[in-house]
Homo-oligomer: A and B are copies of this chain.
Amino acid sequence: MAKLFIPGPIDVSPDTFAAMSRPMIGHRGAEFEALYASTQPVLQELAGTTRPFYLATNSAWGVMEAALQNLCAKKVLNLCCGAFSDKWFSVAKSMGLEADKVQVEWGEAISPEAVKAKLEEGGFDLVTLIHNETSTGVMNDLEGIAKVVKSFPGVLLVVDSVSSFSAVPIEMDALGVDVLLAGVQKALALPPGLTVFSLSEAAVERAKAMPNRGYYFDFVEFVKNGEKNNTPSTPAISLIFGLQHILGVIAAEGVANRYARHKANNAMIHEWGKRHDFKNFAPEGNQSVSLTCFHTPAGWDQSAFIKTLKAKHGFVINGGYGKIKGLTFRISNMGNETPETMQELIDAMNDVLG
């Protein structure tokens, strides 16, 4: 039994598991509809939107692919800066879509200017952005990029906020984001298997006009069923019980307090890194507040550090992802962590460092 400080899935609290253990209910009736409806206000507050939220029984890649399937009639521009954002481009290609990309080195952020220059080439009707690239710890300039995309009429913006949702404020409506999606196993601190997403009116209109959308990921089906507080397919009921619970916890804490807590917990890890001369992989000004990605110093046995931390103290951190595996390591501070629990981790890491 080890506690996870990896950037998702993360530690799930006993009270969340208790909520998830409520007896099953049928999903085509008033009880489920009330459950579904109860999730809306806090999700909307976290996203800065008055648009409804949809509950999709799948991990985030499902909705990331669905956004392409429902909204890309011409050509998608994928903004690529790490394992997950790079992969979104591959997924577009695997679907047979026309796709192009802005590619920066892993560890760098996407610049709004580069997006502008690419969109000026013309022919695009969709842009995908990962707000917080979980593989590198880079948080992109959502506001700057959204402003650029919105200056190109007919180009919709899909934002994956998987590892930023509920950790930092997001203003979907004010920024003109057309699809905002998040997996629940990151800062929402639930087990994986559910993705929440919201759609602008323009996204719904675009989807309605798209042929061959299929069924499971058809946005129009989500809208139609959502109007009755329901889902197109059988939903992950236990996870939605868990979601209802955690949204209640978030409301009780207050979203502003939650954001401040993530920032403060993250600062503790940055401070710890500085003390031990671990360099941040993400550049100043574009650092995630939900996870931290450090360079592995030359000659330092990262693998032994991670193993001992787990064996001796029962804490799990992550040794990098994809092509920077081993070259970086990552520590999450998402979810329910407090200054006290972060300090426990820091004390343990200090003990292992000796």
Binding site for B on A (CB under 8 A): 1-4, 6, 8-12, 14, 17-18, 20-21, 23-27, 57-62, 65, 69, 90-91, 94-96, 183, 185, 191-194, 211-218, 232-239, 316, 318
The answer to whether A65 and B215 touch across the interface, beta carbons within 8 angstroms, is yes
Contacts of A3 in B (CB 8 A): 23
Q: Which one of B2, B10, B58, B193 contacts A238 once the chains associate, using CB atoms below 8 Å?
A: B193
B192 pairs with A59, CB closer than 8 A: no
Total copies of the chain: 2
Most chain B beta-carbon neighbours within 10 Å: one of A11, A91, A192, A213:
A192
Q: In the complex, A237→B6 CA distance in Å?
A: 15
B27–A192 CB distance below 8 A = yes
Residue among A1, A11, A59, A215 with the highest chain B CB neighbour number at 10 A: A215
Contacting pair A9 B234 (CB below 8 A): yes
The 20 sampled A-B contact pairs (Cβ below 8 Å) are A1-B23, A9-B234, A18-B21, A20-B21, A26-B316, A26-B318, A58-B233, A60-B234, A61-B215, A61-B216, A62-B62, A62-B233, A69-B214, A91-B214, A91-B215, A94-B214, A95-B214, A191-B236, A191-B238, A193-B236
Whether A193 pairs with B235 at a CB distance below 8 angstroms is: yes
Q: How far is the CB of A94 from chain B (nearest CB, A)?
A: 5
The minimal Cβ–Cβ distance linking A304 to chain B, given in whole angstroms, is 17
Given A191-B237, A216-B65, A9-B21 contact (CB < 8 Å): no
Chain B nearest CB: distance from A233 CB in Å? 4
Instruction: Determine if A58 and B61 form an interchain contact, defined as CB atoms under 8 angstroms apart.
Output: no
Pair A193/B26 contact, Cβ less than 8 Å: no
Q: With the chains together, A146 CA to B325 CA distance in Å?
A: 47
